[in-house]
């Protein structure tokens, strides 16, 4: 039945249940919260309940029947009165053309007579142009229509947009919920599950992005490269670019894969710091621990901080749509140099074990 597949956020469901039962639904909501915690899924479920043609009034109004034509159309992604838009993956900002086309389509008469609903993703990335085009409709929406805007943090929202929406905050999910959702995606390998839950930070979406075994395999290859006496930065960069290119021809897919890899490299450097401090590694499995130990022995904490800083800079460059191969080559060159300059570890860090 409706809502049973939405884990976490029970207080949000109850709050909307009360609002809908009292007939107090606003015409625009802004959902903010970490990436991958289910905000869009929540909005879609809410849209389904509002468009369902078999709900009864009162507190049951928020339980979609999952069987009527409207519910089936929403599930199939083809309901004519439900609009789902967002920033195209290869764009930096929300393009005005996408917004204009949407506003035109949204202004047409409702197809099934229960009003229209729009789920507008990537509200973080509105520019002034697309936001201004949206404002008038957001202020005076067609009767019976509802907007759900999805963003991450409140400070990334334009004031003009945010002041016209009811704010709803979403928190990270409990680890147990993340685990259950990963298991539903057939991730059953215990060690991988544990590792993903540790790294998820309450975001099943983030965990799923890292569930690809080839990412971990390639990270091992990089770590092995980083622990050699002479680091082959050119060779590592070449392998890294090839790895990113395996994601497909689209630059956006390659960028996403490179970002996921970068995230794992960052985790390995952070783990090296943990190991130096005598704590347990979070992202490494038992096969990787010797590599981590060797990395931790090679570079003092100050040096690892410098490595991390360089990785974080690279994350920004990838987000700015610089060519993936250039970013990767720059990173591998810098990491190679930093590690080779590392020199012997100060005595105070020697002799730890993992
Ligand atoms: Zn229904």
Ligand 1 centroid to residue 247 C-alpha, Å? 38
Same domain, 219 and 331: yes
Domain presence at residue 140: yes
Ligand 1 centroid to residue 62 C-alpha, Å? 10
Ligand 1 centroid to residue 193 C-alpha, Å? 35
Ligand 1 centroid to residue 80 C-alpha, Å? 15
Ligand 1 centroid to residue 211 C-alpha, Å? 34
3-state secondary structure of 306: helix
Alpha-helical runs (H) found in 151-284:
159-162, 175-184, 190-200, 204-209, 213-226, 233-245, 251-276
Ligand 1 centroid to residue 13 C-alpha, Å? 17
Distance CA 10, CA 3 (A): 9
Domain presence at residue 164: yes
Ligand 1 centroid to residue 53 C-alpha, Å? 5
Ligand 1 centroid to residue 84 C-alpha, Å? 19
Ligand 1 centroid to residue 69 C-alpha, Å? 7
3-state secondary structure of 31: strand
Ligand 1 centroid to residue 72 C-alpha, Å? 7
Ligand 1 centroid to residue 219 C-alpha, Å? 46
Per-residue model confidence (pLDDT) at position 287: 84
| Residue 70, domain extent | 10-169
Residue 31 token pair: 């959902």
Give the total number of structural domains in the chain.
Answer: 2
Cβ neighbours of residue 281 closer than 8 Å, sequence gap 6 or more: 271, 274, 275, 288, 289, 292, 354
Ligand 1 centroid to residue 275 C-alpha, Å? 53
Distance CA 35, CA 203 (A): 7
Q: How many helices (H) and strands (E) does the chain have?
A: 15, 5
Per-residue model confidence (pLDDT) at position 353: 47
Same domain, 84 and 140: yes
Domain presence at residue 341: yes
Ligand 1 centroid to residue 64 C-alpha, Å? 5
Same domain, 223 and 162: no
Ligand 1 centroid to residue 114 C-alpha, Å? 12
Among residues 140, 169, 198, which one ends one of the domains?
Answer: 169
At 229-287, the pLDDT tens digits run 899 999 999 999 999 999 998 888 899 999 999 999 999 999 999 999 999 888 888 88
Candidates 182, 222, 218, 228; CA nearest to 202 is 182
Ligand 1 centroid to residue 51 C-alpha, Å? 7
Cβ neighbours of residue 11 closer than 8 Å, sequence gap 6 or more: none
Question: What Cα–Cα distance (Å) separates residue 63 from each residue in 20, 52, 162?
Answer: 11, 9, 28
Distance CA 261, CA 256 (A): 9
Domain presence at residue 18: yes
Residue carrying the six token digits 């998820």: 200
Ligand 1 centroid to residue 145 C-alpha, Å? 18
Same domain, 246 and 149: no
Same domain, 137 and 265: no
Ligand 1 centroid to residue 335 C-alpha, Å? 55
Candidates 298, 268, 293, 295; CA nearest to 282 is 268
- Straight-line distance from the first to the last Cα atom of the chain, in angstroms, rounded to the nearest whole number: 48
Same domain, 14 and 161: yes
Same domain, 32 and 153: yes
Per-residue model confidence (pLDDT) at position 1: 52
Residue 330 token pair: 């720059």
At 38-54, the pLDDT tens digits run 999 999 999 999 999 99
With left for phi above 0 and alpha for psi between -120 and 50, is residue 346 left, alpha or beta? beta
Question: What Cα–Cα distance (Å) separates residue 25 from each residue in 61, 146, 157?
Answer: 12, 8, 22
- Give the angle subtended at the CA of 121 by the CAs of 115 and 126, to the nearest 5°: 110
Q: Identify the CATH number of the domain in which residue 308 sits.
A: 1.20.272.10
Ligand 1 centroid to residue 48 C-alpha, Å? 7
Ligand 1 centroid to residue 41 C-alpha, Å? 17
Ligand 1 centroid to residue 65 C-alpha, Å? 4
Ligand 1 centroid to residue 146 C-alpha, Å? 18
Each of the 354 residues of the chain gets a pLDDT tens digit; together they read: 577 778 888 899 999 999 998 999 999 999 999 999 999 999 999 999 999 999 877 767 788 999 999 999 999 999 999 999 999 987 889 999 999 999 999 999 999 988 999 999 999 999 999 999 999 999 999 989 999 999 999 999 999 999 999 999 999 999 999 999 999 988 888 888 999 999 898 999 989 989 999 999 999 999 999 999 899 999 999 999 999 999 998 888 899 999 999 999 999 999 999 999 999 888 888 888 999 999 998 889 999 999 999 999 998 888 777 789 999 999 999 999 999 886 555 555 555 544
Ligand 1 centroid to residue 172 C-alpha, Å? 29
Ligand 1 centroid to residue 115 C-alpha, Å? 15
Per-residue model confidence (pLDDT) at position 91: 84
């Amino acid at each position: 039945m409706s809502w049973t597949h939405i884990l976490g956020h029970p207080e949000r469901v109850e709050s909307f249940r009360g609002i809908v039962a009292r007939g107090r639904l606003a015409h625009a909501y802004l959902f903010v919260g970490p990436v991958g915690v289910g905000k869009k899924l929540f909005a879609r479920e809410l849209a389904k309940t509002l468009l369902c043609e078999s709900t009864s009034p009162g507190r049951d109004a928020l339980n979609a029947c999952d069987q009527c034509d409207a519910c089936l159309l929403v599930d199939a992604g083809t309901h004519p009165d439900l609009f789902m838009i967002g920033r195209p993956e290869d764009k930096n900002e929300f393009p005005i053309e996408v917004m204009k086309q949407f506003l035109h389509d949204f202004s047409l008469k409702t197809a099934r007579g229960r009003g229209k609903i729009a789920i507008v993703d990537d509200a973080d990335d509105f520019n002034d142009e697309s936001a201004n085009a949206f404002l008038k409709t957001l202020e005076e929406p067609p009767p019976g229509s509802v907007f759900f805007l999805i963003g991450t943090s409140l400070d990334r929202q334009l004031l003009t947009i945010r002041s016209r929406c009811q704010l709803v905050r979403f928190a990270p999910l409990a680890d147990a919920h993340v685990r259950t959702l990963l298991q539903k995606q057939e991730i059953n390998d215990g060690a991988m599950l544990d590792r993903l839950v540790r790294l998820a930070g309450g975001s099943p979406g983030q965990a799923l992005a890292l569930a690809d075994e080839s990412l971990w395999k390639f990270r091992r290859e990089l770590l092995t490269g980083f622990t050699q006496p002479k680091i082959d930065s050119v060779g590592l960069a070449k392998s890294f670019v090839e790895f990113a290119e395996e994601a497909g021809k689209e630059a956006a897919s390659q960028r996403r894969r490179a970002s996921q890899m970068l995230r794992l490299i960052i985790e390995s450097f952070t783990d090296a710091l943990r190991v130096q401090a005598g704590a347990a590694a979070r992202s490494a499995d038992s096969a990787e621990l010797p590599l981590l130990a060797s990395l931790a022995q090679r570079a003092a904490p100050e040096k690892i901080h410098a490595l991390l800083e360089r990785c974080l800079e690279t994350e920004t460059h990838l987000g700015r749509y610089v060519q993936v191969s250039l970013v990767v080559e720059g990173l591998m060159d810098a990491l190679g140099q930093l590690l080779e300059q590392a020199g012997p570890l100060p005595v105070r860090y020697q002799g730890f074990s993992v």
